[in-house]
Structure 1
């Protein structure tokens, strides 16, 4: 299919396709290579009520040795359109002194300045268009291609030095966590939810109860009305320590207990738990892991008078 046929077909469609989508379709149909497709904004003046793509043309560069390229014209603002007009053109005299001849000269100078600004910024507009087209192709392939595995590439880009043994499900959970981390850090209600998603185990936070072993160190006590808390009087007994939490994990099956080993060599799940605590918990909080093992049980087959281990009796 030639470019003019693509343009005619596009104008017949009711949906208003984005310029990036049109460029991707041209590249995937092998009509033109992505490097030779240019997205060219034509300015904001004609944007209202118009389609995103106004024309698709084949053009040649100045050199005869280079291949022709496809230009997709779109009714969007370029960089020069986004700049304040005063940065491109300023009248040389005040409004009260302007004559008809001066106004006409200013109009010519303004149009010349706009044209020069558009020419100056056109390479940047084209490069931004290429980046948008690359994003469009990447997003499209990640949705329609089940073998793309772009989440692995994104994970390695975001966490290049993360030395953890993670399953694909855990990587996806950490990617989701990365997006919402700024909302989760320090939130003691949200943290256990994401701990469970990554670890695949039930997780809960408990504030530890600690005893105060401090003494006043004085031979006499001040009267109650003259005492100062923290100087003459201190709390004693058990109290809630907000700077320490117990992380309860489980119940965990016997086959998974080894992965939560908290001594050298550390288990892979314990290392993942340490990573989550360093990422989500405030720096002043200390923590301990309380691992709950799954309770064992046995079932006796009542159809026999005597049980046989491994046959009618199951541990």
Structure 2
């Protein structure tokens, strides 16, 4: 693969950006591209990328992509006297000797650049990997690099998929301001799970049998005022949070089964938004088209207790 013109008239792409884009698109692997500096002589007026070519590696026995850039290499940064002998005086040298001296210096420069090529290639390889990582961070809706930064510290967020994590990352800074804000929480849950979610508080109804209620009555001599006994006939009912999710299809109902990612994600979100002392009752509403029971190994409407019930 040879890129004839990596740049247009009005563009000046960095070599590492071009290499990272080729790797991201799957056109080439990171080990099959090499970036080498050609010197800064043309950088003042030329683009960053000088030349793109293919060659066959003698050591790896496969096609490689070489990108030459108009930048300083290690040869250009080090003193010239490390690689070349001092030039002869122009007064005592003939034209042929001067041409020969220039040819020798060009060959010495070529050998010096070849000596530093592995080091420079490794440096640019590291820059390419960093550029690729930064590119994947920006494309957060496609890749998981940005989400993985949060998962290292918040292990409980592993139950969320990539799309849900992106929403949660925007919500985290304002959670402390929106606790118990039912309209806001309902909207967040609806967006995350892509289903309709309705939340409301209602007073708890006393459904305990008379025998259990009688056992809870305070007897004379055993009551401690303010602990398990109060003066008067006032009984203040507590509130419970009712969550209605749906209407759902049979497949969506199965995704909320205990132990699934959706069920765990719902519990995590409620633990952040709803006070710990609040009693939560969750109801899943099945759509009219999915209320019929269909028996079979692959049938979604045959999960007893969740998508179908026994009755008269």
TM-score normalised by structure 1 residue count = 0.44
TM-score normalised by structure 2 residue count = 0.44
